[in-house]
């Protein structure tokens, strides 16, 4: 069986946990897809866990921790990722965190990056990886 190597942006995790909107349903479908192998980074962890912990949202923390525990691919080459992110941000007009996510996804050879960023955002200018928005 061949799996799609998928890097999940933090917005997808937040939507899956918090919502009942169309975006939340799409996020849940992506996270429940048995044909995917999930990739992540410390950047995603930093975006979702501290605030949930601070606010004592234990169910939310557990949801995120369960996702991270199931990730088989971690973008760990932080210095290389930051260097790449700086170039991507300059070349494509990306915000800092978006550039870090894209660089992390590319660094692990992900097939796709799934995000809640709208298709009109600079992240979708990237040509090195397929960027898919669930906010369409």
Question: What pLDDT digit, counting tens, does each position of 70-120 carry?
Answer: 999 999 999 999 999 999 999 999 999 999 999 999 999 999 999 999 999
The alpha carbon of 1 is separated from its chain's Cα centroid by a whole number of angstroms, namely 23
**How high is the mean pLDDT of the chain?**
95
**Alpha-carbon span 25 to 19, nearest angstrom:** 8
Crossing angle for the helix pair 10-18 and 58-70, to the nearest 10 degrees: 130
Q: Is the pLDDT of residue 136 over 70?
A: no
pLDDT tens string 25-39: 999 999 999 999 999
The β-bridge relationship of strands 4-8 and 73-75 is unpaired
Write down the pTM of the prediction. 0.93
Count of CA atoms in the C-beta half-sphere (13 A) of 15? 23
pLDDT tens string 70-80: 999 999 999 99
């Amino acid at each position: 069986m061949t799996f799609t190597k998928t890097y999940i942006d933090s917005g997808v995790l937040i939507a899956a946990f918090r919502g009942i909107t169309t975006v939340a349903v799409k996020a849940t479908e992506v996270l429940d897809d048995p044909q995917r192998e999930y990739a992540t980074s410390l950047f995603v962890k930093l975006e979702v866990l501290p605030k949930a912990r601070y606010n004592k949202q234990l169910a939310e923390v557990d949801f995120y921790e369960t996702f991270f525990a199931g990730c088989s691919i971690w973008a760990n080459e932080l210095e290389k990722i930051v260097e790449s992110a700086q170039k991507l941000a300059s070349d494509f007009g990306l915000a800092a965190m978006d550039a870090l996510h894209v660089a992390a996804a590319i660094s692990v050879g992900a097939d796709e990056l799934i995000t809640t960023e709208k298709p009109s955002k600079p992240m979708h200018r990237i040509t090195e990886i397929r960027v898919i928005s669930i906010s369409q």
